[in-house]
Amino acid sequence: MLDDETFPAAAEEALANSGIDSSRLDIEQIKRIIGPLPATQMNNRLMRSQQEMKWRRITATLDEQRESLQAELDEFASRHPQGLELDPDFVRPDYTNVHFHLQPGGYYKHPLAGVRYHYGTKVFFRGDNDKDQLHRKLVEHTPSPADGQVKRVLDLACSVGQSTTALKAKYPDAQVWGIDHSAPMLKAAHRRAVLLESEVTFSQRLAEATRFGDAEFDLVFAFILFHELPQRIIAETVREAARVLRPGGLFAVYDFCDSASMSPLEIYHRDFDARHNGEAYSQDFCDMDFAALLADSGFGPIDVGLAGGYVKRWFATRAEE
Ligand SMILES: C[S@@+](CC[C@H](N)C(=O)[O-])C[C@H]1O[C@@H](n2cnc3c(N)ncnc32)[C@H](O)[C@@H]1O
């Protein structure tokens, strides 16, 4: 029988029996040791199949209500136009055309992409996402800038706006923006926020070219964005965050751990995720020194720590000029 422990136990045993110091193993060696095990192959097949089944079921169920759900999103957008800025001339860069986590149509090609994503993450986070628990926890865990001044907050790549509304709840007097390139994500985010009576603004903009002015924000927040960007865009986005933050403002980033702090099994999983779960760019992010990039882009001090599981956090203060 294959349970949650079978694959990790078999993989750890094979790694130990290889006789190679695990801290020296590279991904090709790890794949050669773990890949052929029956438990690995069964695990991989199940991972891929359950992801495909999840999306098949979610899209089928939502597609049955497609017309009414789309009409509802449109109605919220026209009845509460404040709080939603969509750009009819928006030009989306090619690198965004990836079906992350195998979501059919990806993040923007289907009008219900935001609704699909929200249901998909509810399944993925196994209950931790039903009432925004995860996002609220991360926002609570995030410090304010050292001087305590928080008047304007930017949530980069907000998807359906769960951290955006959590940030507004934490800073009720602040002006809070959530930006994303995907209009269907923003429409779903806007509907949620209206229902929650959360007065935030969602706007269709690129994280690396936000069109905001210099030093306009006190806090910039980004949860699991960077591992979905190519390296050039990661660097541009960090520089953009530095530009829109005032000196002393805080850039709070939560994202995947770097390969150097992963166990061989986690490295194997990351590689599998990149190749078979639509995470086209995650290896680039995990292989880079993100703290060094922050330091080179005008941030310091930078507080780096683990946020739990695979997630690491960087709290980077915009250095004084
Ligand atoms: C994994 S989700 C981020 C999750 C989100 N921060 C949350 O808290 O649920 C990635 C999101 O980033 C958006 N995105 C990706 N690249 C972007 C970019 N360059 N500019 C703006 N949004 C981007 C996608 O449309 C998608 O909604």
pLDDT tens digits, residue range 252-285? Answer: 999 998 888 888 999 999 999 999 999 999 999 9
Which of 132, 107, 128 minimizes the C-alpha distance to 117? 107
Whether 217 is in the pocket of ligand 1, judged by its Cβ within 6 Å, is no
Question: Whole-prediction pTM value?
Answer: 0.95
Quick check: 4 pLDDT over 80? no
Confidence tier at 125 by pLDDT (50, 70, 90): confident
pLDDT of residue 129: 81
Range of lowest pLDDT (87-91, 144-148, 166-170, 308-312): 308-312
Yes or no: say if 147 and 76 are a contact pair by the CB < 8 Å rule: no
What is the C-alpha separation between 92 and 182, in angstroms, rounded?
9
Q: What average pLDDT does the segment 104-114 reach? A: 95
Render pLDDT for 224-233 as a digit per residue (tens, 0 to 9): 999 999 999 9
State what percent of residues in the chain have pLDDT above 90: 86
Indicate the average pLDDT of the chain. 94
Residue whose CA lies nearest to ligand 1 atom number 13: 157
Quick check: 2 pLDDT over 80? no
Whether 223 is in the pocket of ligand 1, judged by its Cβ within 6 Å, is yes
Centre of ligand 1 from the C-alpha of residue 224, in Å: 8
pLDDT of residue 321: 76
Quick check: 308 pLDDT over 70? yes
Residue whose CA lies nearest to ligand 1 atom number 25: 182
What is 81-318's CATH number, 3.40.50.300, 1.10.3720.10, 3.40.50.150, 3.40.50.2300?
3.40.50.150
Yes or no: say if 166 and 240 are a contact pair by the CB < 8 Å rule: no
Q: Which two tokens stand for residue 283?
A: 């290896």
Which of 121, 96, 256 minimizes the C-alpha distance to 189? 121
Confidence tier at 309 by pLDDT (50, 70, 90): confident
Dihedral sign for Cα atoms in the order 263, 223, 86, 212:
negative
Distances (CA, A) of 119 to 49, 125, 172, 176, 188: 18, 10, 27, 24, 11
Quick check: 316 pLDDT over 80? yes
Centre of ligand 1 from the C-alpha of residue 210, in Å: 13
pLDDT of residue 261: 83
Quick check: 155 pLDDT over 70? yes
Q: What average pLDDT does the segment 248-255 reach? A: 98
What is the C-alpha separation between 172 and 181, in angstroms, rounded?
25
